[in-house]
Amino acid sequence: MTRKLQLGRPSRQPASPAEAVLDTVPNPEPGAVYVARFTAPEFTCLCPVTGQPDFAHFVIDYVPAKSLLESKSLKLFLASFRSQAAFHEATTLTIGKRIAAAVRPRYLRIAGYWYPRGGIPIDVFWQTGKLPAGVWLPDTGVRAYRGRG
C-alpha cells in the first residue's frame, strides 16, 4: 500500500523532525542534469543551552536523479524543528542528510547561514559527493554577516 502525499490535503505540522516525512515525486526529466534550489530564509529552532530561539537562512541545492523533493513536505519538515534544541552544525547536517536519503540526488549542497549567537554568526555547509561535470551551480546569494559596522 502506497502512502499518500501530503500535497493537496490538510497536513498537521510534525511534532519533531523524526516524525516528519519527506515526500518525493518522480522527476519528469530524469535524464537531464540540472540544479533545483530551495531557499528557507526563516528557519527557527532552539538553542540547546539556553532554550532561546535560533534563526537561520538555508539554501538547499540538488541535482535530481529519479526523484524530486516535494516542497510542502519540506516546509513541514523544516517547521518541525521549531521546538527542537540542537547545535547549528547538527541541525544543518540532519536536514541535509534527511533530504539526501529521501531524494537520492546526484549531488546535494546545503548552506546554513545562522544568525549571530553570542555575537558570532555560525555558517555550516555540507554536500554529497562532487557536482556533476557541466552543471552550473550558482552562488547561494546570501551575503556574509557584516553586523552594524
Q: Which of 47, 61, 123, 139 is catalytic?
A: 47
Task: Annotate 40-59 with b (16+ C-beta within 10 A) or e (fewer).
Answer: beebebbeeeeeeebebbbb
Query: Is 45 a residue of the active site?
Result: no
Query: Is 47 a residue of the active site?
Result: yes
Q: Which of 23, 45, 54, 61 is catalytic?
A: 54
Report, as residue numbers or ranges, the catalytic residues: 47, 54
